[in-house]
Amino acid sequence: MAAKASEVGAAKLLDHLEDLLSNTLRVTDRQELLVENFDRALSRLYREHVKADVQEFVTHLPRYSLAVAAGGFLENREIQSEGWEEAPPDLHLSPEMFVARVVGRSMEPSIPDGSLCVFKTGVTGSRQGRLVLVEDLGGGNDRYTVKRYRSVKNQQPGGTWTHERIRLEPLNPEFEAWELDPALDPQDERYRIIAEFVRVLD
């Protein structure tokens, strides 16, 4: 179909499907759709209308009701599983990965407001410069945000390292970065890096 679309164009391909393949393919009535981003809209429509066999962590990743803020911390009700999302074939899946929705504009253009995103738990090595999912354990409910992580550390006389400064940075220049005060959280007991951003699904 991709070759046919390239040859005759999208409108004629739809005519062809409606005229000749209605007994082979289910072709619904055409609908107009306004899109801001064609690839994201196409991915969303595919997920809504094409049901694939779920192969856990082979073709699909678990999706959670967790709403991640691209801004300040966002309060969540109890987090629940919302099923499985089909992942792109070029993404190598693992049980450490999951899907959640990011709300807000502070991480645009890399992470558009309202997009479904893949995250991976078990962040290893330096977090410096990575886009990370941060959990604030200080409130009544868990709160989450996604930001670029920056830190400055000092080595203590005994050889251990302590944070002098932790900065969470937006990608969108319209928003300001903000800092976590390590003095208020000397053992990193309030703020926890729980996952690293992998990519946008739609």
Our count of domains for the chain comes to 1
- CATH number, domain containing residue 160: 2.10.109.10
C-alpha dihedral, 123 to 124 to 129 to 134, nearest 10°: 30
The verdict on residue 97 lying in a domain is: yes
The verdict on residue 91 lying in a domain is: yes
Structure tokens at 49: 């209308």
- In the block, tokens 């996952």 appear at 195
Rounded distance, CA 132 to CA 65, Å? 18
Distance of CA 77 to the CA centre of its chain: 19
65-123 confidence digits (pLDDT tens)? 887 777 766 666 667 888 999 998 899 999 999 999 998 999 999 999 989 999 999 87
- In the block, tokens 């005519």 appear at 15
Query: How does pLDDT run along the chain (202 residues), one tens digit per residue?
Result: 778 888 898 888 888 887 887 677 777 777 777 776 777 777 777 777 777 788 999 999 999 988 777 776 666 666 788 899 999 889 999 999 999 999 899 999 999 998 999 999 987 777 888 999 988 776 555 578 899 998 877 667 776 766 667 888 999 999 999 887 655 454 555 677 889 999 998 8
Q: Beta partners for 200?
A: 117
The verdict on residue 33 lying in a domain is: no
136: containing domain? 55-200
